[in-house]
Chain A
Amino acid sequence: MEGTLKLWVVIVAVGAINYASRLSFIAFFARRTMPPLLARALRYVPPAMLMALIVPMVVAPDVGVQAINPRIPAAIVAGIVAWFTRSSLKTMVAGMAALWLLQAALARLG
């Protein structure tokens, strides 16, 4: 498939699926309660999917091989801040500060 067409197919299909999911219980199934097994399974979508996305980005970034990967401790710092503050802004600031500090420290050492 040609690049532009491929992109628009993805945009329209993913956009439509996302919109249908967002609308699902607000409009389509408004008078129905969710099947209990589905309700249970859906609770595990955020932890499972988010972790599947986070791990490759932290453990194996595409930026060459380093002896020590500063992203792992930086991600742990961000995780602790996120747990206690529930603030995306504070998590972002803490994680980036930790990464920059560690990168600077590693540059000095090596």
Chain B
Amino acid sequence: MRRVLNTPDFRAGFVEMLPACLGLIPFGLVCGVGAAAAGADVLEALGMSAIIFSGAAQILASQLLAAGAPVAVVILTCAVLGLRFLMYSAAMAPVLRTLSAPWQRAVSFLLTDQVFAASIRKFDAHGDPRGAALHFLGGGMALWSTWQIDNVVGYFAGNVIPAAWSLEFTVPLCFIALLAPALRGVLPIIAATTAGVAVIALAGLPMRLNLVVAGILGIVAGTAAELLRERWKAR
């Protein structure tokens, strides 16, 4: 373990993730505040941040539970949101293929949007799977540990933060930071626009089902547009 922690790639991954960890502090605080608002005690709040370990899913689950949505709807909505991990997993598989199975099972838990993006960039730049895996582990550990602190501080400090600061606005800002780079090309824009229009148009649906339905409609629209474009090109 110490040998791993001393490698330059692990350290680089850890250090390079710190600016993103800094940017995620308000998001983590808001997740802690949200858990408190959903009626969680501190152990449950920590359970959300440590086990779910996905800010988007935590916020979504807190909001849906606070709105009184049934457990099945909360789980379904979070599962659709979590589908993106399948894609990250497939992209990370070649990076982590040199690791033993237990290591793979351990580090996979740390797969998140930010760490995935950083490690893939590293792998594409150097093509060294072992270095990129260590880099991934460093970034993942930096993010996981700071995330727990952010969440617990948010859980306790939530009611001291002035409402005029609009701290909750950092949540859509975090998602915008992830969304904007994904909007390269017309097809992702079709998917995003469809989902954005649908979530407003379907706002009347009960149990906040509009979120998951809009998401699925966006995914279908993007995929259908891609298939249509290919057919068009083939003619």
A residues sitting closer than 8 Å to B (CB atoms) are: 1, 3-4, 6-15, 17-19, 21-27, 30, 34, 37-61, 71, 74-75, 78-79, 82-83, 86-89, 91-92, 95-96, 99-100, 103
> A-B contact count, CB below 8 Å?
279
Is B79 in contact with A47, judged by CB distance below 8 angstroms? no
Is A88 in contact with B24, judged by CB distance below 8 angstroms? yes
Is B20 in contact with A27, judged by CB distance below 8 angstroms? no
Tell me the complex Cα distance, A110–B78, Å: 40
Is B40 in contact with A7, judged by CB distance below 8 angstroms? yes
Tell me the complex Cα distance, A66–B57, Å: 29
Is A89 in contact with B200, judged by CB distance below 8 angstroms? no
27 example contacts (A-B, Cβ-Cβ < 8 A) are as follows A10-B75, A11-B44, A14-B57, A17-B75, A17-B82, A18-B54, A18-B57, A22-B108, A23-B108, A39-B90, A41-B219, A42-B86, A43-B222, A45-B84, A46-B113, A48-B217, A48-B218, A49-B83, A51-B179, A51-B218, A52-B214, A52-B215, A53-B211, A55-B199, A58-B172, A61-B169, A96-B26
Is B52 in contact with A55, judged by CB distance below 8 angstroms? no
Query: Contacts A47-B192, A50-B179, A50-B192; is A40 near B223 (CB within 8 Å)?
Result: yes
Is B38 in contact with A7, judged by CB distance below 8 angstroms? yes
Interface size on B, residues (CB 8 A): 96
Tell me the complex Cα distance, A49–B230, Å: 24
Is B89 in contact with A25, judged by CB distance below 8 angstroms? yes
